[in-house]
């Protein structure tokens, strides 16, 4: 009975993302036209993410999955409780939103939304 309670507690913990995703917006480059010139594209597609590490340990990589299936990596040292506000370059996309699909912690452990598990990655 105690084993079942511990196991269900661990499963519940594993399914909670270690990231608080406040916003995730994909933007498209702007196409401008002037008098007799052909249209010109200005800027590039970008993903604006605002998130914080809700775990008790630093994160070294966050993988975002866009609603069109593409993935974008954000790599750095993301300390617990600190708000991260990044603009990440994208290939041209029609995506409008994203979710956190995987996280790697600085100590090598990882969280994966696909499997809803915490794992220890091996180099």
17 has pLDDT over 70: yes
pLDDT band at 35 (very low <50, low <70, confident <90, very high): low
Of 84 and 2, more confident = 84
Encode pLDDT of 56-96 as tens digits.
999 999 999 999 999 999 999 999 999 999 999 888 778 88
Of 121 and 64, more confident = 64
Degrees, nearest 5: CA angle 66-16-116? 70
pTM, two decimals, is 0.74
| Of 7-16, 22-31, 57-66, 86-95, the least confident | 7-16
Dist. CA 17–CA 52, nearest whole Å: 11
55 has pLDDT over 60: yes
Please write down the HEC assignment for all residues of the chain. Answer: CHHHHHHHHHHHHHCCCCEEEEEEEEECCEEECCCCCCCEEECCCEEEEEEEECCCCCEEEEEEEECCCCEEEEEEEECECCEEEEEEECCCCCCCCEEEEEEEECCCEEEECCCCEEEECCC
pLDDT at 16: 77
Degrees, nearest 5: CA angle 94-99-102? 125
How many residues are there in the chain?
A: 123
Beta bridge partners, 93, equal: none
Backbone torsions φ then ψ of 23, nearest 5 degrees? -155, 155
Backbone torsions φ then ψ of 118, nearest 5 degrees? -100, 135
């Amino acid at each position: 009975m105690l084993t079942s309670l511990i196991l269900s507690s661990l499963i519940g913990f594993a399914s909670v993302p270690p990231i608080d995703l406040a916003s995730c917006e994909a933007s498209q480059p702007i196409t401008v036209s002037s008098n007799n010139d052909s249209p010109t594209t200005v800027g590039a597609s970008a993903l604006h993410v605002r998130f914080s590490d809700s775990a008790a340990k630093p994160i070294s990589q966050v993988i975002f999955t866009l609603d069109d299936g593409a993935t974008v990596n954000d790599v750095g040292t993301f300390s617990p409780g600190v708000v991260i506000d990044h603009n990440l370059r994208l290939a041209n996309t029609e995506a409008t939103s994203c979710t956190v699909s995987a996280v790697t912690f600085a100590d090598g452990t990882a969280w994966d939304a696909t499997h809803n598990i915490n794992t220890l990655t091996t180099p």
